[in-house]
Structure 1
Amino acid sequence: MGRHLGAALLLLSTLAALSFSAPSSAQAQPKEVRIGFQKGSAILVLARRQQVIENRLKPLGINVRWAEFQFGPPMLEAMGAGAIDLGSVGDTPPVFAQAGGSDLVYVAATPSAEHAVLVPKHSPIRTLADLKGKKLAFGKGSSAQNVALKALALAGLTFKDIEPVYLSPADATAAFNGGNIDAWVVWDPYYAIAQEHYGARVIADTSDKRLASASYYLAHRTFADRYPQVLAAIVDELSRLTEKAGRDRAGLASIAAEATGIDVGSWRTAFDRAGFTVGPVTPTHVLQQQQLADAFLSLAIIPKKIDVSEIVWHAPRGR
């Protein structure tokens, strides 16, 4: 989620870091960090349950407040409005947020949850080409929209060739089971739930590298600039927790099931195909995000051209 900042922003970040290091500075640390999470963000769910961020920040006198969102776009709307400081989303919400003028920065990157294009068990749809003229559901502005775009392109189709139906995961679940949509693009654990409980059939998924992407931790720029050491500490804690969780996926599934109410079998399926790393936003990530933004601009999905490299945050040196 880091991005290359201009010289002025780098200077601001440096000054903020120096301010943090001075115990007498009133701006050295926030009183509270507000973190947005989704049920599908298993690491943040685990972090909240085990209070690892609270334990890291408590000696500094910093409280942590959590806010749950159903998916990425509403979370970044809240972040853009200054209601939360940090959150984790897929690749697409940041593009919409930047195009909409939200003052956010990419902080770190992590493998995306697996996504799939799903159809009901007895659907006549067998290939991506069969989606032509069909109702395809996905969350508007979510990572599923990008997967839908790329999946359709593999069959020589665009959004003009299908009937997009913009639904949240909860609403799409009901529509899928009720036969009100023909296909659905969604991410784990909802992808796993659809397989495990509704017999959904996969016609494409992100195991195909042409459809794969990343997820990102983002922060409000003001928070990142004022409190770089605090943000770096949070990312460090999330990185440690992610590595640990990846070594015990069964245990993570049990914890996630208890914390979210989603059955342990679906979580196991999701985690068996998930990646568990947290790292910096690389030039490759920036290129992928820029290509996504440019594609959306060419289709008039976003209103203006954006430069992804302008909103990448860099952790303070010397950590």
Structure 2
Amino acid sequence: MSRIAAAVAALLALAACGAKDTREVLHVGSQRGGTKAVMLASHALDGAPYTVDWSEFPAAQHLLEAIAGGSVDLGLVGDAPFMFAYQSGAPIKAVGAQYVAERPRGALALVVRAASPARQLADLKGKTVATTRGSVGHHLALAALAAAGLPADYVRFTFLAPGDAKAAFSSGRIDAWAIWTPYLPMALKEGARVLVDGHDLVSGYGFDVANDRAVKEHRALLDDFLAREAKALDWARTHPDDYAAVLARETGLPADIARDYAIKNGRRSVPIDAKVIDDQRRVLKTFRQAGTVAGTRDIAKAFVPPAGA
């Protein structure tokens, strides 16, 4: 190569290094074992005309706070925390919905330690139950109490992030823990015992939630991301081993637990219709009857129909 050609090549390389990606950026939040893992594993974002900036959170409460504050545009959360945050006045909307049609047992449960004398929910009178405030675990515990004809104050709730709750549970500082996947399989592997399974008490909807600003300013990006996410979920159901490998790498979960989660986590994107919204009225009713939610916002306005609908 001549000196001139070499100089030109060097200048081009420097220009490339200094070039900035001018594409739009979509800030997406992901809970442990959530959206990020399935999108990376499926390569669903390949060719996207925008950049995704990922942020990870230990629980829906923290993710929803970030969405409401505007540092995150979009994130997947369970129905209970979404309802809880929306009724608290957060400037958020659900723009997509997901559902597990054949929900397995052992995905959400109220657990006690193996040596606990508790054999049924009534045995926890006056005992301490840990969960995250407004979470699917909180909803499960309240729904279980209501189904058993017991008042919400039958137990003493302590609200902790999953990591703190795990430490308290392991040390015996709490009597029971209302927790979800992927934390639940780890607890069971370490000897926890299911006292109440959530299978028959909660519906299991999840929602892609965006802040109001993102809905107004980045609607096209949100719609494109949701379409890619739907394809990623379809891919995950037919490629559990490939999904599990990335899931284990992203979360640090043991390979066997990651694979079990990948097989059981058969989520699908579903339309936000009247049935979905009616189910959320039941979720909200559980919180209201327990005195944990006072907001009166119209639930129907919490959901944004697809573009063009």
Using structure 2 for the length normalisation, give the TM-score.
0.85
8 Å contact from structure 1 (residues 192, 267) kept in 2: no
Partner of 2:96: 108
SS of aligned partner of 1:92 = helix
8 Å contact from structure 1 (residues 128, 152) kept in 2: yes
Deviations 1:188-225 (A, max 9, x none): 111111112x11111221222x3332111111122123
Which of 241, 244, 267 is the aligned partner of 2:235?
244
Q: Percent identity between the aligned chains?
A: 29
Partner of 2:144: 151
Partner of 1:260: 251
Cα distance change of structure 1 residues 313 and 30 upon mapping to structure 2, 3 Å threshold: farther
Cα distance change of structure 1 residues 161 and 74 upon mapping to structure 2, 3 Å threshold: same
Partner of 1:199: 191
Partner of 1:292: 283
8 Å contact from structure 2 (residues 128, 155) kept in 1: yes
SS of aligned partner of 1:116 = strand
Which of 222, 237, 255 is the aligned partner of 2:213?
222
SS of aligned partner of 2:172 = coil
Cα distance change of structure 1 residues 271 and 206 upon mapping to structure 2, 3 Å threshold: farther
Partner of 2:16: none
8 Å contact from structure 1 (residues 293, 305) kept in 2: no
8 Å contact from structure 2 (residues 143, 286) kept in 1: no
Cα distance change of structure 1 residues 207 and 292 upon mapping to structure 2, 3 Å threshold: closer
Number of residues paired by the alignment?
283
Which structure 2 residues correspond to residues 270-285 of structure 1 after superposition, within 5 A? 270-285=261-276
8 Å contact from structure 1 (residues 138, 166) kept in 2: yes
Partner of 1:176: 169
Partner of 2:58: 70
- 1:274 shift after superposition: 2.5
Q: Does 1:85 align with 2:73?
A: yes
Deviations 1:253-276 (A, max 9, x none): 221001111112122233333322
Deviations 1:90-129 (A, max 9, x none): 1122122212222211112113682011111111111122
Which of 119, 122, 131 is the aligned partner of 2:124?
131
Cα distance change of structure 1 residues 30 and 231 upon mapping to structure 2, 3 Å threshold: farther
Distance of 1:148 and 1:235 partners within structure 2: 31
SS of aligned partner of 1:278 = strand
Cα distance change of structure 1 residues 189 and 205 upon mapping to structure 2, 3 Å threshold: same
Distance of 1:252 and 1:89 partners within structure 2: 20
Partner of 1:317: 308
Distance of 2:122 and 2:59 partners within structure 1: 28
> Gapped runs of 5+ residues in structure 1?
1-28
Cα distance change of structure 1 residues 30 and 158 upon mapping to structure 2, 3 Å threshold: farther
Q: Does 1:166 align with 2:159?
A: yes
Distance of 2:98 and 2:174 partners within structure 1: 31
| Deviates further, 237-246 or 267-276 | 267-276
> Gapped runs of 5+ residues in structure 2?
1-21
8 Å contact from structure 1 (residues 111, 274) kept in 2: no
Deviations 1:257-315 (A, max 9, x none): 01111112122233333322112222122112122223323333123212211121122
Structure number with bigger Rg: 2
Distance of 2:23 and 2:119 partners within structure 1: 53
Distance of 1:36 and 1:312 partners within structure 2: 19
8 Å contact from structure 2 (residues 133, 159) kept in 1: yes
Distance of 1:164 and 1:184 partners within structure 2: 10
- Supply the RMSD in Å over aligned alpha carbons: 2.0
- Matched AA of 2:48: L
